[in-house]
Structure 1
Amino acid sequence: MENNTAATQAKVSIITIGDELLIGQVVDTNSAWMAQQLNLAGFNVHHRVAVGDTWEDIWEALNQESERANIVLITGGLGPTADDITKPLLCEYFGGKLVQHAPTLAHLEQLFSQVLKRPLTDRNRKQAEVPDVCTVLLNERGTAPGMLFEKNNRLFFSMPGVPHEMQGLMQKHVLPLLQQRFNPGIVEHRYLLTAGIGESDLADRIEAFETALPAFIKLAYLPHYGMVRLRLTARGVQNDTSVITTLNEQFALLQTYVTDVMVVNEDITMQALVGKLLKARKQTLATAESCTGGYISHLITAMPGASSWFTGSVVSYSNKIKETVLHVLSDTFTTAGAVSEETVIQMLAGILGEMETDYGIAVSGIMGPDGGTPEKPVGTVWVAVGSRKRLETKKFQFRYDRARNIEMTAVNALNMLRKVIEETHPL
């Protein structure tokens, strides 16, 4: 099957601007989000570049990326302060002059008078000035408009660096325009998550499958949190239904190779999977967290609708709270210690009783960088999950920094609970 699509002609580069990105003060989430959305729309991102608030560096990036790509997306440097130099630079780069854009000014006046409830200053009014050689893209979520420039059959989109504003411009203006100008074709993904097998062992197991894949389907290995996510990606001509049919056939075949280690055959987080299982069974969960400090409940409550299956959490960071709220016996701390199987078993019993839930998770460990002993080094974690009828415990020995140890504990605890739910109440 041939895979000749116009998407191969649409090469995209992303330029993010700001000193704060280069010194690590702000993490560049914009380019990651943009790349994800472009990929879903069928476009390949070939380069991502971050530059500081320096005229020469931005100019050089524009020159380089316009040679590599015919679509250049730019974020940052459009604010009202002196260090925001992107707009005057683009004006010079494309040979224009700044003029006041009446619709943008009207938007600013309405925004300041009716929403922000404060006067529109001269500095903010300058946000309505745009190069006369651009097409203005109204930014309904903020003050700095987006701008579209065309030069040598290349499209340049300039957008604010504020993520919420950039995303609004991408969804309303940039992606629809690109889909009108180009024929991105079909891009479809299928995901499955495995646990209990390393990346190299997994690659050996499915080597024959990967070697036999059609040329228009690619397999990617995405290790994360001690698990490995597999992604199949198919690209083809728009409206070619055989591409999707073949992808589904190959995805079904892939699952036969990993049946014993497969967690789920969809692109879903572990917390969302646990929620899905509990909702289907009309059951509930609560957590008793010591070393994770509420991180597990944070992952859960970040999802809309979690209140239908998650009742709450006790962050029992001190032994006093473990004892008085979760009813851990004081002798347990003396005989076994706070980081022990005995403690998490009693924490689990306490949270199940206090919250009156079907299932619970209890964790206690040493996240680091200090606090470890020869018997219980940093990274030692005990987890207990289950119900009043079924209990599972496990000791982990993580080897990462504090933040990573907390993340690993949360995901592995949720995966332990996932297995207990599926085994205890199969549908």
Structure 2
Amino acid sequence: MTAEVITIGDEILIGQIVDSNSAFIAKELNKIGISVFQITSIQDDKLHILNALDEASARADIIIMTGGLGPTKDDVTKYTFCEYFDDRLELNEQVLEHIEELFKRYKVTPISDLNREQAMLPSKAEVLHNEYGTAPGMWMEKDKKVYISMPGVPYEMKELMEREVIPRLREKYHRPFIYHKTILTRGMGESAVANKLAAWEEKLPSHLKFAYMPDIGSVRLRISGKGQDEGALISDVEKQVEGLYEILGDIISDEQDEDETIAVQISKILTAEKKFLAAAESCTGGALAAEFTTHPGASKCFKGGMVSYATQTKVEMLQVKKELIEEFSVVSAEVAEAMARNARKLFKTDYALSTTGNAGPTKGDSDAEVGTVYIGLATPERTYSKKFLFGNHRDQVVKKAVYKAFEMILKEITA
């Protein structure tokens, strides 16, 4: 059972937006045993859409499209659907009623004819109700193939996938079982890990796949399998996992859910222990707090943070002593520790993280070399800091600093 994902929109092709839709769709399909054969991005153009549909239908059983369903004249997907399926547009009263209700309840601007026209849909299409938007999804079938069209707005697409598309696919198709197991390693680079696993990989059964997923400070190792016998497949994968532990036991830190980041791990532990965390950030500019609060439930353990980017802010708002900064520099262990200690007091938390450093490209208020970062951690028992050298790429310095800060707090709360 294979699927192809087609994303429509010039804004993707010119780099104006990042295509996160296809990644979400592929992950959701994979969970129910449907493999994605190809992902394609095309212009919002009738000929391009028709060609993409023809090519995808030759490769896949399920063709899923996102984008091109808005109220503007450059959104042509449903018109192209009519041509491809030899169909015509007709008014769907239920969709029109939903559009009018959305404008009545949530919109400041009056409803227009262009908005109402979104209720004109191919007569052969099964409508997929879009609770959050005016463009409904569409489900059509031709020559034993399923064609699904959804709006490109990510939160609308996700709701349609979860509530409309996945349940229908589950009901329609008998699918194989797919099982993944992800092992998280820390402290060793991808090439070094690969060297240790070379002989083990040679013996891996052909029905299993192995992948390296390097990240800042860690490498995730994923074993995947597909089959009709769920129990046998899980047993096969778990047997190989045992082999990984025999070879890499000293650097394996955890077994991970595909969606479980280090921030989620920290959050789960702190929540279970009814502990709270705060942050005082300088060089990371709020990235630490942003990463920690991207997942639901973070409010149960994260009280807040302060971006004390300027030296003056550290002194006036975070109450770091001016004399301390003058003596040791704003990028120093002493200042990092003062930031963490004061943040813990300010937010009344059990733990507090701090970051101060030189992300570049210039040195700023310190003479420290670009890439130098001090990370502080205040706990109920002590306050300490670590110095890191993260190179000269600004974005990577910030990402590495956030990850190392998370590593420090995770090690502290799991010791």
TM-score, normalisation: structure 1? 0.89
What are the ranges of 5 or more consecutive residues in structure 1 without an aligned counterpart? Answer: 1-9
Indicate the SS of the match to 2:160.
helix
Alignment pair present for 1:25 and 2:26? no
CA distance in 2, matches of 1:322, 1:330: 9
Alignment pair present for 1:42 and 2:33? yes
Cα-Cα RMSD: 2.4
- Contact in 2 for aligned 1:78/1:87 (Cα 8 Å): yes
- Contact in 2 for aligned 1:386/1:420 (Cα 8 Å): no
Residue in structure 2 matched with residue 248 of structure 1 by the alignment: 238
Q: Which deviates more, 26-35 or 212-221?
A: 212-221
Report the alpha carbon displacement of residue 76 of structure 1 after superposing the two structures with TM: 0.9
- Contact in 1 for aligned 2:217/2:403 (Cα 8 Å): no
Residue in structure 1 matched with residue 191 of structure 2 by the alignment: 200
Alignment pair present for 1:308 and 2:300? yes
Tell me which of 331, 335, 341 is aligned to 1:343: 335
CA distance in 1, matches of 2:307, 2:286: 6
Q: 1:363 to 1:112 in 2, by over 3 A?
A: closer
CA distance in 2, matches of 1:381, 1:117: 47
Report the alpha carbon displacement of residue 103 of structure 1 after superposing the two structures with TM: 2.8
- Contact in 2 for aligned 1:349/1:388 (Cα 8 Å): no
Residue in structure 1 matched with residue 405 of structure 2 by the alignment: 413
CA distance in 2, matches of 1:149, 1:309: 45
CA distance in 2, matches of 1:414, 1:72: 40
CA distance in 2, matches of 1:263, 1:115: 47
Identity of aligned residues (%): 39
Indicate the SS of the match to 1:393.
strand
Q: Which deviates more, 227-236 or 206-215?
A: 206-215
> Structure 2: which amino acid aligns with 1:244?
I
> Structure 2: which amino acid aligns with 1:278?
L
Q: 1:47 to 1:393 in 2, by over 3 A?
A: same
Residue in structure 2 matched with residue 257 of structure 1 by the alignment: 247
Report the alpha carbon displacement of residue 32 of structure 1 after superposing the two structures with TM: 1.0
Residue in structure 2 matched with residue 175 of structure 1 by the alignment: 166
Alignment pair present for 1:68 and 2:66? no
> Structure 2: which amino acid aligns with 1:241?
G
Q: Which deviates more, 23-32 or 365-374?
A: 365-374
Report the alpha carbon displacement of residue 114 of structure 1 after superposing the two structures with TM: 4.8
- Contact in 2 for aligned 1:352/1:388 (Cα 8 Å): no
Report the alpha carbon displacement of residue 327 of structure 1 after superposing the two structures with TM: 4.0
Residue in structure 1 matched with residue 227 of structure 2 by the alignment: 236
How many residues end up aligned between the 2 structures? 413
CA distance in 2, matches of 1:361, 1:374: 21
Alignment pair present for 1:81 and 2:72? yes
Tell me which of 357, 375, 394 is aligned to 2:386: 394
- Contact in 1 for aligned 2:186/2:218 (Cα 8 Å): yes
What are the ranges of 5 or more consecutive residues in structure 2 without an aligned counterpart? Answer: none
> Structure 2: which amino acid aligns with 1:394?
K
- Contact in 2 for aligned 1:95/1:133 (Cα 8 Å): no
Indicate the SS of the match to 2:295.
coil
Indicate the SS of the match to 2:206.
coil
CA distance in 2, matches of 1:218, 1:402: 35
CA distance in 2, matches of 1:338, 1:119: 53
Indicate the SS of the match to 1:417.
helix
Report the alpha carbon displacement of residue 98 of structure 1 after superposing the two structures with TM: 1.6
Report the alpha carbon displacement of residue 420 of structure 1 after superposing the two structures with TM: 2.2
- Contact in 1 for aligned 2:8/2:66 (Cα 8 Å): yes
CA distance in 2, matches of 1:148, 1:341: 59
